[in-house]
Amino acid sequence: MSVSQHIIDDTLRTPQGEDAYTIVEKLTDAGFDTWWVGGCVRDMLLGRIPEDIDIATGALPEEVKVLFPKADMTAAPVGSVRIPLRKRSFEVTTFREDDAASNGRHPEAVVFGTREQDAKRRDITVNAMYWNPISRALFDPFDGEADLKERLIRFIGDPAIRIKHDALRMLRAVRFRATLHGQYHPETYRALQEQAPLVEILSGQRLREELEKMLLCPHPDRALEDLWELGILQRFLPELAECKGIPQPADYHHEGDVWDHTLMITRAFTAEHGIDTRLAALFHDCGKTKTFSLKERIRFDHHASISAELAAQALSRLQMPQRRREKICWVIEHHMMMGSFASMNDERKSHWYYHPWFPELLQVFWLDIAGTDPADFSLYEEIVADEQHFLDSHPRPPKPLLTGEDIMDALGIPPGEEVGKMLQTLYEAQIRGEIATKKEALARMKGLGADRTDSAQRGA
Ligand code: ATP
Ligand code: MG
């Protein structure tokens, strides 16, 4: 299963392949042992042209910087540098040892080491392969190639100890098993089950980044199922884990309970669905766990707003930036509005159809249906047609050329009524076609600002 000649040729012909070759060549010529490593080697062995090529080297970051003066030492984790070439940049990491005590929390404590030590600190065998684009040699100290052939996800070293050193490796193992359509090595699986509670010590930020990668990977449903089965999800996202066993009205949801519905939605993700849409879809029904009642049929009254509240709590825990959290929760809160749009008057319609987050709301409507059996898209199609008709007859108003912040910065004034008035005046000038660029808006604003200073001085 070695890297096939045609994948080598095709990869080296891509711009990133050419550039990553050049970097290895230059470092090798200067006497430093340098290799492609990790995901790119895994991809090439699988017969895929890698998108990102990471490089590992015996050169210290300062030494890399001497050869590549444009290298940025602050744009990469400690012990790595980022080399910008053409439109991309490459992460070049100095061989290092495992940081046994860090649990990913003290990335500043880096101990440089040999290539062998560098391989030992990596998470799973299929991620610890090195390929040299010049000699074409494969350095594969843990038989990653054999594991890849069997699609085995196997921790390097003692799995329990490696998880204790960095618990994020549990989530990574789950993601790679989903991505590679793989299976766990028995000892890896046992360690994941036993160490599951350690997920609680991870920082919100690292958990969020990994959750986002999982939702963007080819089979998020598989990853979520594994997290549940391993007892990780209950500690990581209890509001989602509780969806299992919450029944839905049988007539409308042949797919099963709330958890089954959520998984079916994640199976319907397409390349068009951005990460915020995916997160909103993931949490959109978690409020059903708190609102279940059996009336004339199973009902979940007000579940959309409860789901939004629970999602807000989960996303805060995950240190989601506020603006994105607001957007995701707004979409969740309004996901039950599908029936209301066509009967609205134009003013109400304009509120929704011009809303900057409406596209994500529409995507969640679509996903909600796609995750339901039987799926009925008729109401969704009505909304899209109505929106299109509305936008054709009421073109979207242009975006203001300047923001309040631009005005405050340029004039050095604090927030307040004056900024609002200035925004309004400039926007009216823009609608009348008197100004069309940011530069013209700034010039007009300076004129207005000068009037203001004059009158203030006259008044003084
Ligand atoms: P992809 O980018 O396709 O998700 P990748 O293998 O390149 O996969 P990255 O997260 O980019 O994964 O990490 C690059 C490499 O760094 C991995 O292949 C692995 O060898 C190593 N690595 C990353 N995170 C860890 C970790 N927490 N513990 C040990 N090794 C890690
Ligand atoms: Mg990578």
Which CATH number fits the domain that encloses residue 2?
Answer: 3.30.460.10
Does 276 reside within a domain? yes
Sign of CA dihedral 370, 373, 379, 385: positive
Q: In this predicted structure, what is the pLDDT of residue 399?
A: 86
pLDDT at 170 over 90: yes
pLDDT at 452 over 60: no
Q: Which of 347, 374, 393 is the last residue in one of the domains? A: 393
User: Average pLDDT of 397-416?
Assistant: 89
Are 142 and 208 found together in one domain?
Answer: no
List the residue whose alpha carbon is closest to atom 27 of ligand 1: 169
List the residue whose alpha carbon is closest to atom 9 of ligand 1: 39
Q: In this predicted structure, what is the pLDDT of residue 53?
A: 97
pLDDT at 195 over 70: yes
User: Average pLDDT of 190-200?
Assistant: 98
**Residue 327 CB–ligand 1 contact under 6 Å:** no
Are 360 and 291 found together in one domain?
Answer: yes
Q: Which atom of ligand 1 is nearest to the CA of 93?
A: 16
Does 418 reside within a domain? yes
Are 326 and 443 found together in one domain?
Answer: no
User: Average pLDDT of 443-456?
Assistant: 69
Q: Which of 108, 125, 149 is the last residue in one of the domains? A: 149
Q: How far is the CA of 52 from the centre of ligand 2 (A)?
A: 6
Q: How far is the CA of 127 from the centre of ligand 1 (A)?
A: 7
Q: Ligand nearest 172 Cα, by number? A: 1
Are 228 and 258 found together in one domain?
Answer: no
Are 207 and 277 found together in one domain?
Answer: no
Q: In this predicted structure, what is the pLDDT of residue 110?
A: 86
* Of 417, 413, 404, residue with least CA distance to 449: 413
Mean pLDDT of the chain: 93
pLDDT at 226 over 90: yes
Domain tally, the chain: 4
Are 227 and 170 found together in one domain?
Answer: yes
Are 422 and 305 found together in one domain?
Answer: no
Q: In this predicted structure, what is the pLDDT of residue 459?
A: 43
Number of neighbouring beta carbons within 10 Å of residue 127: 19
Does 44 reside within a domain? yes
Are 14 and 129 found together in one domain?
Answer: yes
Q: Which atom of ligand 1 is nearest to the CA of 43?
A: 3
**Residue 159 CB–ligand 1 contact under 6 Å:** no
Q: Which of 189, 211, 236 is the last residue in one of the domains? A: 236
List the residue whose alpha carbon is closest to atom 4 of ligand 1: 39
Does 224 reside within a domain? yes
pLDDT at 456 over 80: no
How large a percentage of the chain has pLDDT more than 70? 95
What is the domain-level CATH number for residue 175?
A: 1.10.110.30
Does 398 reside within a domain? no
Are 314 and 436 found together in one domain?
Answer: no
User: Average pLDDT of 342-352?
Assistant: 90
Instruction: For residue 458, name the pLDDT band (cuts at 50, 70, 90).
Output: very low
Q: Ligand nearest 127 Cα, by number? A: 1
Q: Minimum mean pLDDT among 158-162, 248-252, 286-290: which range?
A: 248-252
List the domain range (segments joined by +) for residue 428: 404-459
**Residue 278 CB–ligand 1 contact under 6 Å:** no
Instruction: Let me know the angle formed at the C-alpha of 118 by 116 and 123, rounded to the nearest 5 degrees.
Output: 115
Does 399 reside within a domain? no
pTM of the model: 0.87
Q: In this predicted structure, what is the pLDDT of residue 84?
A: 93
List the residue whose alpha carbon is closest to atom 12 of ligand 1: 39
Q: Write the pLDDT tens digit of every residue in 1-36.
A: 689 999 999 999 999 999 999 999 999 999 999 999
**Residue 210 CB–ligand 1 contact under 6 Å:** no
Are 91 and 159 found together in one domain?
Answer: no
List the residue whose alpha carbon is closest to atom 1 of ligand 1: 39
User: Average pLDDT of 265-272?
Assistant: 98
Are 125 and 19 found together in one domain?
Answer: yes
Instruction: For the chain, give the secondary structure using H, E and C.
Output: CCCCHHHHHHHHHCHHHHHHHHHHHHHHHCCCCEEEECHHHHHHHCCCCCCCCEEEECCCHHHHHHHCCCCECCCCCCCEEEEEECCEEEEEEECECCCCCCCCCCCCCCCECCHHHHHHCCCEHHHCCEECCCCCCEECCCCHHHHHHCCEECECCCHHHHHHHCCHHHHHHHHHHHHCCCEECHHHHHHHHHHHHHHHHCCHHHHHHHHHHHHHCCCHHHHHHHHHHCCCHHHHCHHHHCCCCCCCCCCCCCCCCHHHHHHHHHHCCCCCCCHHHHHHHHHCCCCHHHHEEECCCEEECCHHHHHHHHHHHHHHHCCCCHHHHHHHHHHHHCCCCHHHCCCCCHHHHHHHHCCCCHHHHHHHHHHHHHCCCCCCCHHHHHHHHHHHHHHHHCCCCCCCCCCHHHHHHHHCCCCCHHHHHHHHHHHHHHHCCCCCCHHHHHHHHHHHHHHHHHHHHHHC
pLDDT at 194 over 70: yes
Q: Write the pLDDT tens digit of every residue in 227-263.
A: 999 999 999 999 999 999 999 888 888 999 999 999 9
Q: How far is the CA of 21 from the centre of ligand 2 (A)?
A: 17
Q: In this predicted structure, what is the pLDDT of residue 146?
A: 98
pLDDT at 301 over 60: yes
pLDDT at 447 over 90: no
Q: In this predicted structure, what is the pLDDT of residue 107?
A: 59
Strand 130-131 and strand 80-85: the pairing is unpaired
Does 358 reside within a domain? yes
* Of 197, 193, 221, residue with least CA distance to 282: 221
Are 273 and 166 found together in one domain?
Answer: no
Does 217 reside within a domain? yes
Q: Write the pLDDT tens digit of every residue in 102-154.
A: 676 665 678 999 999 999 999 999 999 999 999 999 999 999 999 999 999 99
